Amino acid sequence: DADVTQTPRNRITKTGKRIMLECSQTKGHDRMYWYRQDPGLGLRLIYYSFDVKDINKGEISDGYSVSRQAQAKFSLSLESAIPNQTALYFCATSESGGKSSYEQYFGPGTRLTVT
């Protein structure tokens, strides 16, 4: 887990506020992902990036944006937070090719509460 770090670990914010969640990795992986976890819904992909210049929408990208500042950094922003964005957010990384590229390494998560 220490190879993928997320900040903050917990955050409470108010409706309408802008918030950024940050992810850093020391694994040297090109691919990075943002997921949200909700009880009974599992993990759902928000955005993913295969390199600094390649960013793609996932299953549930509405209301979110991302920035890939460097190979090691991938940030998730909520431009105007709403209560149904209250969830546990995970960043993950993977290698860029071959069989090893299937395995994703997850950070410890950020628990976000929007009031």
Partner 1 sequence: QQQVKQSPQSLIVQKGGISIINCAYENTAFDYFPWYQQFPGKGPALLIAIRPDVSEKKEGRFTISFNKSAKQFSLHIMDSQPGDSATYFCAASGYGGATNKLIFGTGTLLAVQP
Residues that bind partner 1 (CB under 8 A): 1, 4, 31, 35, 40-45, 48, 58, 90, 92, 94, 97-99, 101-109
Pick the closer one to partner 1 by CB: 24 or 104.
104
- Compute the least distance from the CB of residue 32 to partner 1, in Å: 11
Pick the closer one to partner 1 by CB: 51 or 79.
51
CA atoms within 13 A on the CB side of 18: 5
Helix (H) or strand (E) holding 49: strand 42-51
- Compute the least distance from the CB of residue 22 to partner 1, in Å: 15
The CA–CA distances, whole Å, from 50 to 71, 80, 96, 107 equal 9, 26, 7, 17
